[in-house]
A and B are shown apart, each in its own frame.
Chain A
Amino acid sequence: MGIFYQLHLKLPLLALHYNYSMSRIILHLDLDAFFCSVEEIQNPSLRGKPFAVGGKPNERGVVASCSYAARHLGIRSAMPTSRAIRLCANLIIVEPRHKLYSEVSKQVMEKLSGLTPLLEQISIDEAFLDISNISEPPARFALNLQADIKNDLHLPSSIGIASNKLVAKIATEVGKKSVHRSASKTIGAPFGLTIVPASEEAQFLAPLPADMLWGVGPKTFARLNELGIHTIGDIANWPQDEMIHLFGENGRELWRHAHGIDERPIVTERETKSISSETTFNVDIADERTLEKTLRELSKQVGNQLRKNDLAGKTIKLKIRWTDFTTLSRQVTLPSPVDQDDEIIKVALKLLRTVRKPNQAVRLIGVGVSGLGAPLRQLSLWDGRSERSRTLQDVIEVMQMKYGIKEDERRD
């Protein structure tokens, strides 16, 4: 069974950097078709060809990233690989090498942090920089940065600059699209650069489709369309009270964002806040034993990560996606932090049994632990059972490390 595991480290705010001067200059950098660009460096013969990094079509894989030649044929990231192949029969599928991408990403981020400490990495290929205090004009700074990344690391990138994070990120997206449209004969990375001058934010956003705003998902977008709202400008033109009335607190944010207002600071330092592991099944699973076995496996991975990082967590969360793609999560907070597989499994199974109706099929299942801290354990008065199980676990881990012994299904 080709289960594709993902381990996530989720990140909370730790250090906020507010710039209280009149206006900030925020730069958003996005590496163009990052995974593909890295693959092209490794294998230059891929250059200019339609190819995609992603899972295999027969295993319900999806496109993680696709080359600009592939995009030209209508292939997009997050599209099922099987559909991508239908669009382009000779599409080359490259298996993802996440470790390699992380390493290259790290090099880029190191380069950025050399320019300013006010750096916020938001994903493997995206970052915000606060360049308010850099004397160089923003346009020249951005062009130099793009050139440096291209020359030193052979990676194309697009940049958006604005007075806040929201508009800067949208500027990058707009830049990528428009460059692509105007130069459609050349199939290559967009190298976009879009600068939105201060006080022109709302004007810049107005003609864009409403779903380019953060917080407008398909549901909200459909509801907005029903109201005759199609562009960001349409949202901005609605009375704020009306938006709040229709969408609650989210409405207030939407209205502010539509006016290009976003005061979120750059967040520089991050710390692990949760450790989780999830898997999407190749085929939907309704068999209880398979689900429970998978959950055990995932819990073990999370437990392993916790112990490796010398952490324990108080809150255990189960995530489930049903076959209709609705996703839900349920969590339980324990009186004292846990880092033992058995303890995580026990809670995860209990949660699974409460959320899942008999025979209900599952597409994705995951387990996570948050509320992390040092692994302090409240010892129990009677039964040294948890202590014995801890010792057993330690022994198993040592054996596995030493001899590569696979642990058999342990019976409770």
Chain B
Amino acid sequence: MKVTVLQENLARGLSIVSRAVSPRSTLPVLANIMIASDEGRLRLSATNLELGITCWIAARIEEEGSTTVPSRTFSDLVNTLPADQVKLSLDTATQTLNIRGGTSTNDVKCIDAQEFPPLPVPDLKGAVQLNVADFKEMIQQVAFAASTDEARPVLMGVLVQVEKDKLTMAAADGFRLSVRKAVLGSSYGSFNAIIPARALNELARIAHDGEETIAMVVPKGRGQVVFRVKDVELVSQLIDGTFPDYHQIIPRNYKSRTLVSTASLLKACKQAEIFAREGSNVARLNIKSANGDMQPGEVEISATSEETGKNETIVEATVDGSGVLIAFNVKFLREVLEVVKSPNVALETGAANSPGVVRPVGDDNFLHVIMPMHLG
């Protein structure tokens, strides 16, 4: 193989695919990045067997071929080369890749491409077309609520449901639930898939151009999902299992509905978290309804730590219904407020031990349910 590429293209490609490298695998080849000439371009791929990322970059191919290069060495090296041409030439017999850039020449020991697990070649016919900006926002609003606890694998994923022209994404870690809906540009058949939150987060990282579209396919019977955005393809294993029926945990009514400025409540939560994080992360919300015209409604957010001290912030609010004292894991509250896009947010609460619902005001496509913390 003899290939010439631009240093910045190669560096960008490596930074994209290296996220799927599995450095501590028992299979040494998984710590490598596969490079191959592919119809006039250079293809870079990495996989940890659950997630695979492939990226094509512009190249001048003088001689076809492929190999796998140790990821760390390759990326570190390319990042230090001058922003100019980089020449890659492989000695097939010894599987040594010569990397030449500027006045530097390097020989890197590689592993034969035959040993690299084959990545599926997807058929993108009938793929769901998604707008990058919208889909990224959906991922951002949902994926953080997925669990990191390997004891319940299903909850480590995001439920993605397509029904005709409707797309719904939902994730829950047992304590909170995030649900986001969107309308698609055209109509598709119905399907459900539980996609690992990690894969979606990677996708959101890769897809940065808001004008682009993402193509999503779930090939039948393969237990995989494939995303294609511009020059990048991401393949992920789906999570096997049944996602819990989340509809029944979304409260149908509330005792009080509190309207606040999203930014003010977020700031108050961040302040409370400075104290709460030392302990059990709990912040108390004392929601007070208006008392006549003289005393408007407010939310008093407070947190106490044995070591650090205590904090209390008052946020003006319009409280519809009775007041309530309720405690939340302030990290959960902060994380949802960070992804609410509307200037005002509504917090719907029932009793102190019933779920609270966060809804952006004027946007019915997003909702988030948080279970409170039980106060003693």
Complex Cα spacing A278 to B183, Å: 60
* CB neighbours of A336 from chain B (8 A): 280, 329, 373
Chain A residue with minimal CB distance to B305? A373
Would A378 and B329 be within 8 Å (CB), given that A373-B279, A373-B280 are in contact? yes
Complex Cα spacing A377 to B306, Å: 18
A380 at the interface (CB under 8 A from B): yes
A370-405 CB contacts (< 8 Å) to partner B: 373-382
* CB neighbours of A381 from chain B (8 A): 172, 174-177, 249, 355, 369, 371
Complex Cα spacing A375 to B282, Å: 11
Complex Cα spacing A373 to B278, Å: 11
Complex Cα spacing A379 to B279, Å: 17
Chain A residue with minimal CB distance to B370? A381
Chain B residue with minimal CB distance to A310? B376
Complex Cα spacing A397 to B329, Å: 29
- Return A378 CB to nearest CB of chain B, in Å: 5
Interface centre among B306, B329, B353, B374 (most CB of A within 10 A): B374
Chain B residue with minimal CB distance to A379? B371
B285 at the interface (CB under 8 A from A): no
Please tell me if the beta carbons of B174 and A376 are within 8 angstroms of each other in the complex: no
* CB neighbours of B371 from chain A (8 A): 378-381
- Return A301 CB to nearest CB of chain B, in Å: 21
Complex Cα spacing A332 to B47, Å: 31
B360 at the interface (CB under 8 A from A): no
A314 at the interface (CB under 8 A from B): yes
* CB neighbours of A310 from chain B (8 A): 376
Would A376 and B175 be within 8 Å (CB), given that A337-B280, A382-B244 are in contact? no
Interface string of A52-84 (1 = CB under 8 A from B): 000000000000000000000000000000000
Please tell me if the beta carbons of A376 and B177 are within 8 angstroms of each other in the complex: no
- Return A316 CB to nearest CB of chain B, in Å: 15
Please tell me if the beta carbons of A374 and B376 are within 8 angstroms of each other in the complex: yes
- Return A76 CB to nearest CB of chain B, in Å: 41
Question: Chain B contact residues: over half helix, strand or loop, or mixed?
Answer: loop
* CB neighbours of B369 from chain A (8 A): 381
- Return A123 CB to nearest CB of chain B, in Å: 25
- Return B358 CB to nearest CB of chain A, in Å: 14
* CB neighbours of B249 from chain A (8 A): 381-382
* CB neighbours of A373 from chain B (8 A): 279-280, 306
Q: B174, B280, B329: which contacts A374 (Cβ < 8 A)?
A: B280
Complex Cα spacing A314 to B329, Å: 15
Q: How many chain B residues have a CB neighbour from A under 8 Å? A: 22
Would A376 and B376 be within 8 Å (CB), given that A381-B355, A381-B371, A382-B244 are in contact? yes
* CB neighbours of B353 from chain A (8 A): 379
Complex Cα spacing A376 to B326, Å: 12
A298-337 CB contacts (< 8 Å) to partner B: 310, 314, 336-337
Complex Cα spacing A337 to B373, Å: 11
Q: B175, B279, B327, B376: which contacts A380 (Cβ < 8 A)?
A: B175
Complex Cα spacing A381 to B353, Å: 11
Interface string of B340-376 (1 = CB under 8 A from A): 0000000000000101000000000000010111111
B196-211 CB contacts (< 8 Å) to partner A: none
Interface string of B127-143 (1 = CB under 8 A from A): 00000000000000000
Please tell me if the beta carbons of A378 and B376 are within 8 angstroms of each other in the complex: no
Complex Cα spacing A337 to B375, Å: 12
* CB neighbours of B355 from chain A (8 A): 381
Please tell me if the beta carbons of B375 and A376 are within 8 angstroms of each other in the complex: yes
Complex Cα spacing A378 to B376, Å: 11
* CB neighbours of B174 from chain A (8 A): 380-382
Please tell me if the beta carbons of A376 and B374 are within 8 angstroms of each other in the complex: yes
Complex Cα spacing A310 to B306, Å: 15
Please tell me if the beta carbons of B373 and A379 are within 8 angstroms of each other in the complex: yes
Complex Cα spacing A375 to B376, Å: 5
Chain B residue with minimal CB distance to A337? B280
Complex Cα spacing A380 to B279, Å: 19
Chain A residue with minimal CB distance to B306? A373
Chain B residue with minimal CB distance to A390? B374
Complex Cα spacing A411 to B189, Å: 47
Interface centre among A336, A380, A381 (most CB of B within 10 A): A381
Please tell me if the beta carbons of B373 and A378 are within 8 angstroms of each other in the complex: yes
* CB neighbours of A382 from chain B (8 A): 174, 244, 249
Please tell me if the beta carbons of A378 and B375 are within 8 angstroms of each other in the complex: no
Please tell me if the beta carbons of A376 and B176 are within 8 angstroms of each other in the complex: no
Please tell me if the beta carbons of B175 and A378 are within 8 angstroms of each other in the complex: yes
Complex Cα spacing A396 to B172, Å: 33
Q: B280, B282, B306, B327: which contacts A314 (Cβ < 8 A)?
A: B280
- Return B247 CB to nearest CB of chain A, in Å: 11
Complex Cα spacing A381 to B355, Å: 8
Please tell me if the beta carbons of B175 and A377 are within 8 angstroms of each other in the complex: no
Complex Cα spacing A379 to B329, Å: 10
Interface string of B169-190 (1 = CB under 8 A from A): 0001011110000000000000
- Return B132 CB to nearest CB of chain A, in Å: 31
Would A376 and B280 be within 8 Å (CB), given that A381-B249, A381-B355, A381-B371 are in contact? yes
- Return A144 CB to nearest CB of chain B, in Å: 39
Chain A residue with minimal CB distance to B148? A335
- Return B245 CB to nearest CB of chain A, in Å: 8
A255-289 CB contacts (< 8 Å) to partner B: none
- Return A246 CB to nearest CB of chain B, in Å: 33
Would A377 and B374 be within 8 Å (CB), given that A336-B280, A337-B280, A382-B244 are in contact? yes
B277-318 CB contacts (< 8 Å) to partner A: 279-280, 282, 306
A-B contact pairs, 29 of them (CB 8 A): A314-B280, A336-B280, A373-B280, A373-B306, A374-B279, A374-B376, A375-B376, A376-B373, A376-B374, A376-B375, A376-B376, A377-B373, A377-B374, A378-B175, A378-B329, A378-B371, A378-B373, A378-B374, A379-B353, A379-B371, A379-B372, A379-B373, A379-B374, A380-B174, A381-B174, A381-B177, A381-B355, A382-B174, A382-B249
- 6 other A-B residue contacts (CB within 8 Å) besides A380-B371, A381-B175, A381-B355: A375-B376, A378-B329, A380-B175, A381-B172, A381-B176, A381-B369
